[in-house]
Amino acid sequence: MRRTSFKMTLLKLRESQIMKIHYLTGICAVFFVAIHILFRVVMPFGQSLEYQNVIANYHNIYYVVLLELILIFVSIHGFNGLRIILLELKQSDRWESIMTILVLAAMIGIIAYGTRTIIVGSGL
Amino acid sequence: MSEEQNKIKLRVYRTNYSNDYSPRFDEYDIAVKRWTTVLDALLDAKAYSDSSIAIRYSCRMASCGSCGMKINGKPRLACYTKISELNSHTIVCEPLANFPRIRDLVTDFSQFFAHHKKIEPYVHNENVPTEVSNNDDLVEFKQTPEEVDKYLQFSYCIKCGLCYSACPTVATDAKFPGPQALSQAYRYMADNRDDGEKKRFKIIDERHGIWRCHFAGSCSNVCPKGVDPALGIQLLKGHLMGVSKHDKKIARVRTKEE
């Protein structure tokens, strides 16, 4: 019952609230991806992708938090963008509800799988 | 336009959906002068070449918004477009895009007006009686010129549908209210006599509402009255996001003594 009401709350968000989240996650994603790129250019690019350097990154707690934030912001922003495209593709209440639920489920799935990868990589 | 170039070829889109005719273009040679408008040319063709051409027009001075059509690929008012300004010897007239077609250049505005009506384009104010039988009960508001300036340009809209026809979102999303209705929502929000913004915000802040505008700006590009619907939509978005300064105080009703 509680899970249903949580799902319904997400589905019943006003479009302006969703778009606020969309714009904020977009700005945050640009900011954190810029930091991520700066992290990569402190050493030659090829060297930064060597096995021990990648593992070392995953063991740096600040870097792990950064990766998790990027994952969350990019997923929310990207999947909402996909939802908007799908809504414009066809106009019917049934289609819109199904697409919103599917996109939401895919977003949660991607965040969960990405978080798992980050946790496994970091050895937490 | 020189004297030798005073003949143009008018290509008119012809069809009749009730008779299931396949669409075609008919061509007419029309003699034009420097001041001849596309509507003049169409009426010339209708009077002297083919009386069956269907056109909707009324005022002939860009006030009624009836003669909107696609002229050389761009939505324009036929009465407001001089042939000399098009710099072409072939003028192609087609019905407005994004509207259901009825016959030849005549389109169906039902959906367009339904969107306009949906945003309740009139002043909401609980202090004003909706039905007045006695003239003494009529009220008026005190409004400064600065307050009028906030919405004045949007009140110039003549509902010609050119912005609706140019909008790429309307082309793909039939539920999208379109630039005309949304800019009118802003017009009443900016009007300090109106206190119905909460109601109007609920109408436009939904899945197929204002947020589906991708700011292509085509609406402002084609408006024959100088209205900037794209600006109205962006300002309205700012208010919905809570980033715009919102200092509207509802205007006071003028008392009998004043």
Distance in angstroms (rounded) separating the CA atoms of residues A21 and B211: 13
pLDDT of residue B82: 97
pLDDT at B258 over 50: yes
**Which residue bears the tokens 């034009």?**
B32
Q: What interface predicted TM-score (ipTM) does this complex get? A: 0.80
- In this prediction, residue B17 carries a pLDDT of 77
Q: What is the mean pLDDT of residues B230-235?
A: 96
8 Å CB contact of A15 and B169:
no
Residue, of B3 and B192, whose pLDDT is higher? B192
What would you report as the CA-atom Rg of chain B, rounded to the nearest whole angstrom?
21
Identify the contact set of chain A against chain B, taking CB-CB distances under 8 A. 14-16, 18-20, 23, 84, 87-89, 91, 96
pLDDT of residue B83: 96
Residues A14-28, mean pLDDT to the nearest whole number:
95
- pLDDT of A7 above 60: no
- In this structure, the answer to whether residues B154 and B31 fall within a common structural domain is no
Taking 70 as the threshold, does the pLDDT of residue A2 lie above it?
A: no
How many angstroms separate the CA atoms of A36 and B132, rounded?
A: 67
Structure confidence at residue B18 (pLDDT): 73
Which pLDDT score, from 0 to 100, does residue A71 have?
Answer: 97
Give the model's pLDDT for residue B249.
76
**pLDDT mean over B125-153:** 84
Per-residue pLDDT, B20: 67
The DSSP code for A36 is: H
In a domain, B64, yes or no: yes
Is residue A8 over pLDDT 70? no
Residue percentage of chain B with pLDDT more than 70? 94
Q: Token digits for B65?
A: 């918004």
Instruction: Establish if B185 belongs to a structural domain.
Output: yes
> How many domains does chain B fold into?
2
Q: Are residues B200 and B84 in the same domain?
A: no
Q: By CA distance, what is B214's nearest residue in A?
A: A84
User: Higher confidence at residue B254 or residue B79?
Assistant: B79
Last residue of a domain, one of B50, B80, B107: B107
Domain that holds residue B184: 110-241
Neighbour count for residue A53 (Cβ, 10 Å): 12
CATH of A17-122, one of 1.10.520, 1.20.58, 1.10.8, 1.20.1300: 1.20.1300
Of B107, B126, B142, which residue constitutes the final position of a domain? B107
Distance (Å) from the alpha carbon of B204 to chain A's nearest alpha carbon: 9
Do B182 and B139 sit in the same domain of this protein? yes
Higher-pLDDT residue of A57 and B53 is B53
Contact criterion met (CB < 8 Å) for B212 and A84 = yes
For the segment B1-15, the average pLDDT, to the nearest whole number, is: 80
Burial group, residue B226, by CB count within 10 angstroms (0-12, 13-18, 19+)? exposed
Q: Give the chain A residue nearest B168 (alpha carbons).
A: A88
Q: Which of A41, A115, A48, A103 lies closest to A77 in space, CA to CA?
A: A103
Q: Does one domain contain both B174 and B69? A: no
Instruction: Write the residue in B169, B174, B209 that is nearest to A15 by C-beta.
Output: B209
Mean pLDDT to the nearest integer, B75-82: 98
Out of A16, A87, A88, the one facing B205 most closely (by C-beta) is A16
Interchain contact, B240 vs A88, CB within 8 Å: no
How much is the average pLDDT of B211-219? 95
Distance CA A8, CA A101 (A): 10
pLDDT for B1 equals 47
For residue B255, being part of any structural domain is answered with no
Shared domain check, B175 and B100: no
From the list B246, B245, B183, the residue with the least C-alpha distance to B213 is B183
Banded model confidence at residue A4, pLDDT cuts 50, 70, 90: low
> Looking at the domain assignment, is residue B187 inside a domain?
yes
d(CA B74, CA B80): 13
H-state helical runs in A1-124:
2-11, 15-40, 45-48, 51-58, 61-89, 93-122
